Every structure is written in structure tokens, then in C-alpha cells.
Structure 1
Amino acid sequence: MDTSATAPTSGRAEAKTRFNAALAEAKAGAAALRTEASDRAAAYRSQARTQSENWVGEARNYGAQAKGKAGELATDGKGKVAEALSALGRAVLDTAPTVDEKLGAKYGDYARTASRSLQDASARLDARTVDELSDDARELVRKSPALAVGIAAVGGFLLARLFRSSKD
């Protein structure tokens, strides 16, 4: 019998079997790697989502703190402006008799009227909340934007002059 003819056929079959087994093992390894990569990606996504939520929570907390502090500062500033207007009104009223003597009673009356206006403005400012004042400012800008730009320009000019004179 010729065993040489069956040997190459059985060698091929064995090689084919081994190749198919190696191929199946490679496919299983690739599937395992794909599953592991998918699991790791899901874990990283979850970690990133959690970290993102933590950062958003911290940012909201800082925002709330900043808003509270800004509200406190605005209220303090409003109080100081009201006090300054009141003090200016008192100073103008105190100088009214001198104005009467030097320029006449008519100009002294102007000074008294200006003093009352300053005192009234101080009282109105003190009686209103910061939110009401900001609503009024928004409404002013909405109704007459040119006036708002003019006021901002004059205020900016005065601040520039103030800071320039304090630098010199």
C-alpha cells in the first residue's frame, strides 16, 4: 500500500485543522479584546460623566457664591451712594446762607432746592432694592438707548479723570 499518498492528505487535514483552530482562537481573542475595550470605554465614559457632573456642581456653587457676594457688594454700594447724596445735600444746604449773602436770595433758593432734590434722591435710592434699581436701569436703556450711552460716556469720562488725577 502506498502510504505516501495518504500522508500528505492527512498532513494537509491536520494543518487545516490547526489553522482553523488558530483562526478560531484569534477570533475569540479579538472578541475578548473588543469586549474588554468596550468595558473600559464604558468605565471611562462613566468616570468622565461623573467628573463632569462634579465640575458642573462646583461651578454652580461658585456661581451662587459669586452672585451672593455681588448682591452684598451692590447693596453696600447703594447704601454708600445714598449716604454720599445725603451728605452732599446737607453740604449744599449748609452753604445756602453763604450763597444768599454773596449772590442773592434767588441763588440761595436754587441751592436749597438742589439740596432738597439730593435729599429726596437719597431717600428714594435708600428705599429701593438693588433688583428694582437694575430693573429701572434696564428699562431706561430699553426706552432711550442714546441717553444710556451718553450717561455711560460721561461716567466713563469722569472715572478716567478721577483715576488720572489720582495717578498724578
Structure 2
Amino acid sequence: MAKQPTANTSTVAATPTATETVAAPTTTTTTTNPNTAEAKSRFNAALDEAKAGAAALGDEAKLRASGYREEAKARGGEWSTDAKSKAGELAVEGKHKASEALTGLSRVIDDNVTTLDEKLGPKYGDYARSASQTLQDNARKLDEKSLDELANESREAIRKSPATAVGLAAVVGFFFARLFR
């Protein structure tokens, strides 16, 4: 017979007989080159140094981040306090201007009551006087009350009549949209 390949890469020259056995090829061990061992050693040392450097950078980043976090909290607290005080000032100013606007509207109605009496009759003049007086009273109450009292009264009114509150908000929104158009 001809040559038959075996499981390993070597080939047998002759076919063995039933009593002969084929010897397995011997594996040779390669010895490591001294340069390769030195390169591996240096690579491992560089890898360890890189790991240590990364850990040090991570610690430094955590330290800086905590410093920035504390600074942001401090500035945020300052900004929050400033914003609250400014909002309070603007709310008081807005309350005062709203009161002045109600008073002005009341005066305009008062000035035109006589014309309403003459053209539409005393009944409509009385309605106008009543509306003017109500506006004047509301302006005075608005000036007298604090922002906290007004907020509490608003919450209570919304709880008692949410549909009216939504309708009033829609009317006021429409008014402001027309005003700033």
C-alpha cells in the first residue's frame, strides 16, 4: 500500500503490519528566547504602571468632581435665594400695579356714569356705579393683603370652584394674548 496520513502531520513510510505499532511523533518544546521574556516583563510592568496611573486619575477626578459639586451647591443656593427675593419683589410690584389698574378702571367708569344715565337710563348707571365701587373695594383689599394671604385665598377659591377658576384663567389668558398681540 501507499503512504497514509495519520492524525498528526507526519507520515509513515511503510504500512505497519498487524504486529507492529506506529510510534507517535514526539513534540518538541520550544525554549523561550531571553529577549521575549524581557519584552513580556517590560510589557507587564508598563501595564501595571498604566493601571496605577488610571487609578490615580480616577481618584483625582473624583476629588475634583466633589469640589465642583460643592461649589455648584453653594452657587445654586445663592441663586435660589436671589431668585426668590427677586420674585417676591416682582410679585409685590405686580400686585401694586394691578391695584392701580383696578382703581384706574373704577375712575374711568365713574367718569362715564353720567353719560350712561343720560343715554341708557339710570338703571344702567346704577350698574356702572356698583361695578365701579366693587372695583374700588377690590383694589383696596388687594393693597391691604400680603402675597401669602392672596395665595391662600386663591387656593381656597380654586378648591371650592375649579370650573370657575379654569374659566377665569381662560378669560385672563385671552385678555393677555390680545393685550400683547
| TM-score (normalizing by structure 1) | 0.71
Counterparts of 1:57 and 1:143, CA distance in 2? 41
Q: Report the residue type matching 1:105 in the other structure.
A: P
- The structure whose Rg is larger is 2
Count the aligned residue pairs: 150
1:133 aligns with 2:150: yes
SS at 2:164 equivalent = helix
Q: Report the residue type matching 1:126 in the other structure.
A: D
Q: Which residue of 2 aligns with 1:75?
A: 92
| CA deviation map 1:37-91 (0-9, x unaligned) | 4444223212101101111221221122122111111111110110111111122
SS at 2:129 equivalent = helix
Counterparts of 1:136 and 1:129, CA distance in 2? 11
| CA deviation map 1:130-150 (0-9, x unaligned) | 222222222333332222221
Alignment RMSD, CA only?
2.9
Q: Relative CO higher for 1 or 2, CA cutoff 8 Å, sep ≥ 6?
A: 1
Q: Which residue of 1 aligns with 2:68?
A: 51
Q: Report the residue type matching 1:80 in the other structure.
A: K
Counterparts of 2:60 and 2:102, CA distance in 1? 62
Q: Which residue of 1 aligns with 2:102?
A: 85
Q: Report the residue type matching 1:147 in the other structure.
A: T
- Equivalent residue runs for 1:26-37 within 5 Å: 37=54
| CA deviation map 1:72-126 (0-9, x unaligned) | 1111111011011111112212222222222222222222111111110000111
Selected match of 1:108 from 125, 131, 154: 125
Counterparts of 1:29 and 1:143, CA distance in 2? 75
1:142 aligns with 2:147: no
| TM-score (normalizing by structure 2) | 0.66
Extract structure 1 runs of 4+ deviating beyond 4 A: 23-37
Deviating more after overlay: 111-120 vs 61-70: 61-70
Gaps of 5+ in 2: 1-31, 33-39
Counterparts of 1:145 and 1:104, CA distance in 2? 37
Percent pairwise identity? 45
